[in-house]
Amino acid sequence: MTTTETERPSEANGRRGGRRSRNVSVTDEAIERIRQIIISGEWGPGARLPRESELAARFGISRNSLREAVRALSLLRVLEVRQGDGTYVTSLEPDLLLESTRFVALLLADKTVVELFEVRRLLEPAAAALAAVRMDEEGHAALRRELDRMTAASSVEDLVEADAAFHAVVAQAAGNSMLSSLLESLSTSTMRARLWRARLEKGAIDATRAEHTRIYEAVLARDPELARTVAAAHVANSEHWLRGDLARLEAAGGGFATAAGA
């Protein structure tokens, strides 16, 4: 068999063990090489990658395998392919890189949603404590607006939307872009459960408003430990309700996703 541009000797040798598995391995190696170059600083945010032929030669792989690696990293928002212009490293901002995490989290099953609440219970208190120290007057005003929106909400959907916005203000004020992006992903992923609780549990809406008021007051008082405590209690209450409701639904032969109309 003649070795072509799309199959170099190193890749052709893998055919006997299975062409597909070998191609996956070569692609993974290319992804790792690109990752290492970015980490080294040779290609920073916004950098334009060398031409495809040049980069394939540098890695010792086919152009097809390189394209697969670039395609995978594009889906992860690490690279951006600009038609007719070339391939660039993205901004590498946490919010951009975690987009795929948000999408995957929306597909998670019932019990995994409980695990998402566990993670929120770990992160939300930390964000609230940081916000209590770092939030400025403009942030306080924004937090008050979202709290007022929750109070004035005439529907469950409006309430939960203001709820999510409230937590976003807190997360952004924490001053940690990675933490903020992770919490945004978790907030989006647990939205259905929060809507479901507000519709089903008697007194849940009033309790939610009261819990957010306590968080607001602790942040406004610039008391990080109090903010941490009330934020932890707030998320724990939602998690506790969800665990109980899932147990009830499981006993009835259903599940949260089905019951919520997902």
User: Looking at residue 16, what is its pLDDT?
Assistant: 42
Spatial distance between the Cα atoms of 103 and 100, rounded to a whole number of angstroms: 5
Give the pLDDT band of residue 31 (cuts 50, 70, 90).
very high
Average pLDDT over residues 225-234: 97
DSSP state for residue 261 in the 8-state scheme: T
Give the pLDDT band of residue 12 (cuts 50, 70, 90).
very low
User: Looking at residue 134, what is its pLDDT?
Assistant: 97
The neighbouring-strand residues paired with 168 are none
* Identity of residue 5: E
Average pLDDT over residues 235-243: 88
Give the predicted TM-score (pTM) of the model.
0.64
Say whether pLDDT at 193 is over 60. Answer: yes
Average pLDDT value over all residues in the chain: 83
| Total Cβ atoms within 10 A of residue 63 | 15
The DSSP annotation for 28-96 comes to HHHHHHHHHHHHHTSS-TTPBPPPHHHHHHHHTS-HHHHHHHHHHHHHTTSEEEETTTEEEE----HHH
Q: What is the pLDDT of residues 159-170, one digit of tens each?
A: 999 999 999 999
